[in-house]
Every structure is written in C-alpha cells, then in structure tokens.
Amino acid sequence: MGFFDLAKQRYSVRAYKPDAVEDEKLKQVLSAGALAPTACNLQPFRLVVVRTREHLDALKKLYSAPFFVQAPVVIGVYADLGTAWVRRDGKSYADVDAAIVMDHIILAATELGLGTCWIGAFDAQAARDLAGLGAGWEPVAFTPLGYPASGQPAKRRKPLEELVTYL
Ligand SMILES: Cc1cc2nc3c(=O)[nH]c(=O)nc-3n(C[C@H](O)[C@H](O)[C@H](O)COP(=O)(O)O)c2cc1C
C-alpha cells in the first residue's frame, strides 16, 4: 500500500477478533518500530510485547476498556528517561522518540492488515508494574494488536486551513 492510502486506512480499532497474530507479522511490526528515527539516534526505548491471555489481570488494571484485551497481543512503548536526548533548555525528547516509534508500529500493522489503537489513558503505575523495567523507564503508549472485528468509521478532521499556518 502507498503511504497516502496507508494514512487514510489506519484508524483506531476498538473491536478485535480472537485470531492469533502470526509471529512473522509481529516481527515485521516490531522491526518497523526499531527503524523509527530518534533524537541523536539514541534509541532510548523498549518495546514490551504482552501476550494478552497470559497477563489478563495486569492488562485490565492498566486500561479497563474491554476492547483492550480482545486482541491477542498488546504492545507497550517505554522510554528510557536517563538515555534520551535533552535539549539545551532542558526539554527531554523521550516522549517524542517513543511516539514516533509507536506511529511506525501502528502504520506497519495497518500495512499488514492488523488493527491497532493508540492508548494514552492508561494507569502509569500499572504499566510500570507490568514491565518491571525500573524507575527510569516511562511508559508512553500502548496498543492492542490483532485483526479488526469492525469496519472503519468516517474520519473526522479539522480542515487543513485550521491546521496549517503559512508564513
Ligand atoms: C496520543 C494518543 C492517545 C490516545 N489515547 C487513547 C485512549 O486512551 N483510548 C482510546 O480509545 N483512544 C485513544 N487514542 C485514539 C484517538 O482517540 C484517535 O486516534 C482519534 O479519535 C482519531 O481517530 P482515528 O485514530 O480512528 O483516526 C489516542 C490517540 C493518540 C494519538
């Protein structure tokens, strides 16, 4: 699929079939995440792959919407605060790097016919407990990964004129 079709076809999937995600597809999705650009190429992130059935209770504590645990796999992107690039004025790019990684994952999944949904409204402590990576690791984003059980709704977006400023 070309990029512009991919961008149009990606949507937040909130219903999943129980069908397994093939190992090869999972690897392709994770590899796309690993190809994401990061500030100074520091790659300050960890991808945590959670097999839903084996961690059902922990995932329900993390995010309670039923669709979250319908998919066979959940992927979390955690940022390494101690390693991420920090701009001269003190702004850390840890979240930015992790967000780009998650976007690569989500677009790669779409290309492979898989569904995803950015999850930002998770319980951060439950996310830390789940991965056990230590204090310096910030959970940034999660997504279920599985085959969609619902169709794509119409996109609702602001018109370009509201979103773009030409100087
Ligand atoms: C940073 C971020 C956090 C989000 N967090 C959630 C979330 O916690 N739960 C949820 O159902 N959707 C979440 N979404 C999905 C948005 O609601 C969705 O992307 C938006 O409504 C546009 O719809 P679309 O993804 O289908 O194009 C999040 C999206 C982003 C980018």
Give the pLDDT confidence of 43-56 residue by residue, as tens digits: 999 999 999 999 99
Give percent above pLDDT 70 in the chain: 100
Q: Whose CA is nearest to atom 15 of ligand 1?
A: 118
- Centre of ligand 1 to C-alpha 161, Å, is 22
Mean pLDDT of the chain: 98
Q: Which two tokens stand for residue 119?
A: 């999850």
Task: Provide the number of structural domains found in the chain.
Answer: 1
Find tokens 């599985």 and name the residue: 146
Ligand 1 atom closest to the Cα of residue 67 is 11
Asked, for residue 156, whether it belongs to a domain, the answer is: no
Whether 103 is in the pocket of ligand 1, judged by its Cβ within 6 Å, is: no
Whether 117 is in the pocket of ligand 1, judged by its Cβ within 6 Å, is: yes
Question: pTM above 0.95?
Answer: yes
Whether 150 is in the pocket of ligand 1, judged by its Cβ within 6 Å, is: no
Asked, for residue 40, whether it belongs to a domain, the answer is: yes
Indicate the top mutation candidate among 12, 13, 95 to test ligand 1's pocket, ranked by most ligand atoms within 8 A of CB.
12
Asked, for residue 166, whether it belongs to a domain, the answer is: no
Give the pLDDT confidence of 71-108 residue by residue, as tens digits: 999 999 999 999 999 999 999 999 999 999 999 999 99
Give the pLDDT confidence of 1-17 residue by residue, as tens digits: 999 999 999 999 999 99
Asked, for residue 159, whether it belongs to a domain, the answer is: no
Asked, for residue 163, whether it belongs to a domain, the answer is: no
